[in-house]
Chains A and B, each alone.
Chain A
Amino acid sequence: MAGHAGRSAGTATSAPRVSTEPLAVRCVLIGLALAFLFLFLIAPVVMVFSQALGKGVAAYLAAVTDPEAMAALRLTLIVAAIVVPINLIFGLAAAWAITKFRFPGKNLLITLIDLPFAISPVVSGLIFVLLFGARGLAGPWLEAAGWKVIFAVPGIVISTLFVTAPFIARELIPLMQAQGAEEEEAAMILGASGWQTFWRVTLPKIKWGLLYGVILCNARAMGEFGAVSVVSGHIRGITNTLPLHVEILYNEYNFTGAFAVSSLLALLALVTLIAKSLVEWRSNHNPPDRREKR
């Protein structure tokens, strides 16, 4: 009864309060969440930065501007710059195909998109070694053509592509399914071309979900370790990405360097998270379905 009364009272105010739990329960829940957040998220990040700066700013700068660290940073950014746009196009195409058309094998396609999530990244890397390695299926052919894939940048890009492929599609499919195809159909009936429908109707509806997917995909592309580790060959200054470089420094007892480079990764992640928060904030303020609430 109390719950019912509370809810009906809440609807009258602008910010409805649906919580009816006693104060103690709320405090415990909030406390637990905060403690967890602090122990497992904030403390490690603070640790990274304090270790990185443990031997002073000069040591930090020296570690970060080391040519091998810079090469790793450049490679990581290049990989993300290639992988994210390709997965953007793939994700859009896949989500579009799945939500707007009916065709046989649709469920299979949905399952296949999830495949990289299900496979261990190390196995994903090995798949490409078996495919493109010198003794792999396409190896002799690639060698004859003079192309290096495994233990070179293309291999790193391909395995990262594989690992990050589901992110954007997975973000878009439920969104587009919930939105349905009515507005697109209306646009078509009113004489819009396919492109016009996409740019003027679909894209505005999904843009925040799309951006969110891009951000997640980017975060993973920059942070991927397992699959990249298998196909990289670990050549310093050439095929080491930032996560791999961190491991190398750590294994060489260069803890300041390892944490300094980790802090670069953490900074990239922070930028990504801030971008994500901005996107969420803006999407809350511009609900994509606002036109339905006339």
Chain B
Amino acid sequence: MRSRFLWLAMAVVLLLTAGCAAKPTTPGTATGPVELLNVSYDPTREFYQAFNAAFAAHYEAKTGRKVTVKQSHGGSGKQARSVIDGLEADVVTLALAYDIDAIAGAGLLPADWQKRLASNSAPYTSTIVFLVRKGNPKAIKDWDDLIKPGVSVITPNPKTSGGARWNYLAAWGYALRKYGNDEAKAKAFVGQLLKNVPVLDSGARASTTTFVERQIGDVLISWENEAFLALNELGKDQFEIVVPSVSILAEPPVAVVDKVAAKRHTTEVAQAYLDYLYTEAGQELAARFYFRPRMESVAAKYAPAFPQVELFTVDELFGGWQQAQQTHFNDGGTFDQIYQPGQ
């Protein structure tokens, strides 16, 4: 008898938990508390944690509405894939425009999304720098030093990581300049560089952990903000930042995912969220987390924090992200041609 009661109790628990679990999250009504999901890439974790709190306070003061912003982080390409597969992001803040283009390709937002916000929808920029071990034992000064034999280079996989694609194009762009726009020589240069990579992690953060925690590699090709963060979090006595002679202007874009926001009735607050990135408060926060601000006044204020470096853009050298993706990262592109694992 007792065991039959046990069965009954288990069935009740089962039904209750199933009921709770299946209950859909209530979409934001016009006045009640509202929840946003920001699907972002790896190195923005700390920045958006601070920004979300600031935005929530700002928005409640302005409209009286409580807003909580939930975060999801991962490699940029992987995150875009998740949104396409149904992860309900109200806003996406990814590493590069191509990944948001892919979401637009799935019909979740219009193809001209990048024109909807100022500065190519990229409220902050960044660049690619090197992180080396203290004292720079391999004397790494510029991109040339990364292709020397015996130098172990850490960079993530361009197939899944947005940061890695910036790294790849930065190296390619450097070689183009060096060899007078000779594509074949640039390809050989990047191929040589990839030979020095012992492990391709799936995201920028995983690569940082490989370099910093697992102590693998002599140099990490990294987002500028990620390099500063590693320096601050893990000790200036262990690492140094090396700024190459020339690098790429990385423009991580942001966008409201129209279809999801419309369905969850969050369009207005999602828009306000992205707009807040462009305000002085938002720009200040970005600068404090080592993203280069767009607003002139904030940029001037934080200028000493960011090393001067000559930057080229994807549009200048590669004809935009669609074309860069096509040539370099799609199946059969230059990356597939030159990268042979285990060699």
Q: Is A146 an interface residue (CB 8 A)?
A: yes
Given A86-B14, A252-B45, are A78 and B85 neighbors across the interface (CB < 8 Å)? no
Q: Kindly identify which residue among B18, B24, B74, B82 contacts A82, using a CB–CB cutoff of 8 Å.
A: B18
Which residues of chain B are near A233, meaning CB under 8 Å?
Answer: 72, 82, 87
Q: Is A174 an interface residue (CB 8 A)?
A: no
Task: State how many residues of chain A have any CB contact under 8 Å with chain B.
Answer: 34
Count how many pairs of residues, one from A and one from B, have CB atoms less than 8 Å apart in the complex.
80
Q: Is A136 an interface residue (CB 8 A)?
A: yes
Give the shortest distance, in Å, between A79 (CB) and chain B (any CB): 8
Task: Evaluate contact between B24 and A150: CB separation under 8 angstroms.
Answer: no
Which residues of chain A are near B284, meaning CB under 8 Å?
Answer: none
Task: Evaluate contact between B85 and A135: CB separation under 8 angstroms.
Answer: yes
Nearest B residue to A251 via CB reads B205
Which residues of chain A are near B24, meaning CB under 8 Å?
Answer: 146-148
Give the shortest distance, in Å, between B73 (CB) and chain A (any CB): 7
Task: Evaluate contact between B88 and A234: CB separation under 8 angstroms.
Answer: no
Which residues of chain B are near A135, meaning CB under 8 Å?
Answer: 84-86, 106
Given A82-B18, A252-B45, are A148 and B86 neighbors across the interface (CB < 8 Å)? yes
Q: Is A134 an interface residue (CB 8 A)?
A: yes
Q: Is A133 an interface residue (CB 8 A)?
A: yes
Given A82-B21, A85-B10, A199-B3, are A136 and B70 neighbors across the interface (CB < 8 Å)? no
Given A146-B24, A234-B72, A234-B73, are A78 and B84 neighbors across the interface (CB < 8 Å)? no
Q: Is B13 an interface residue (CB 8 A)?
A: yes
Q: Is A43 an interface residue (CB 8 A)?
A: no
Q: Is A163 an interface residue (CB 8 A)?
A: no
Nearest A residue to B4 via CB reads A199
Which residues of chain B are near A78, meaning CB under 8 Å?
Answer: 17, 20-21
Give the shortest distance, in Å, between B215 (CB) and chain A (any CB): 15
Q: Kindly identify which residue among B3, B72, B84, B206 contacts A236, using a CB–CB cutoff of 8 Å.
A: B72
Nearest A residue to B10 via CB reads A85
Which residues of chain A are near B85, meaning CB under 8 Å?
Answer: 129, 133-136, 150-151
**Of residues A129, A134, A199, A248, which shows the largest number of chain B Cβ atoms within 10 Å of its Cβ?**
A134
Task: Evaluate contact between A154 and B17: CB separation under 8 angstroms.
Answer: no
Which residues of chain B are near A235, meaning CB under 8 Å?
Answer: 37, 70-72, 87
**Bound Cα distance A134, B234 (Å):** 40
Which residues of chain A are near B206, meaning CB under 8 Å?
Answer: 251
**Of residues A136, A252, A253, which shows the largest number of chain B Cβ atoms within 10 Å of its Cβ?**
A253
Give the shortest distance, in Å, between B65 (CB) and chain A (any CB): 19
Nearest B residue to A132 via CB reads B86
Q: Is B61 an interface residue (CB 8 A)?
A: no
**Bound Cα distance A85, B14 (Å):** 7
Q: Is B233 an interface residue (CB 8 A)?
A: yes
Given A134-B86, A151-B88, A234-B74, are A203 and B21 neighbors across the interface (CB < 8 Å)? no
Q: Is A116 an interface residue (CB 8 A)?
A: no
Which residues of chain A are near B4, meaning CB under 8 Å?
Answer: 199
Within A60-108, which residues are at the interface with B (CB < 8 Å)? 78, 81-82, 85-86, 88
Which residues of chain B are near A82, meaning CB under 8 Å?
Answer: 14, 17-18, 21
Which residues of chain B are near A236, meaning CB under 8 Å?
Answer: 70-72
Which residues of chain B are near A203, meaning CB under 8 Å?
Answer: 3
Task: Evaluate contact between A150 and B86: CB separation under 8 angstroms.
Answer: yes
25 residue pairs of the A-B complex, CB under 8 angstroms, read A78-B20, A78-B21, A81-B17, A82-B14, A82-B18, A86-B14, A133-B85, A134-B86, A150-B85, A151-B88, A153-B21, A154-B22, A233-B82, A234-B72, A234-B73, A235-B37, A235-B70, A235-B87, A236-B71, A238-B70, A248-B73, A250-B209, A251-B205, A253-B233, A253-B234
Would you list the 4 A-B pairs with minimal beta carbon distance, nearest first?
A134-B86, A133-B85, A151-B87, A233-B87
Chain A residues in contact with chain B, CB under 8 A? Answer: 78, 81-82, 85-86, 88, 129, 133-136, 139, 143, 146-148, 150-151, 153-154, 157, 199, 203, 233-238, 248, 250-253
12 additional contacts (CB under 8 A) given A148-B24, A253-B234: A78-B20, A81-B17, A82-B18, A146-B24, A151-B82, A151-B86, A233-B72, A234-B73, A235-B37, A236-B70, A236-B72, A251-B205
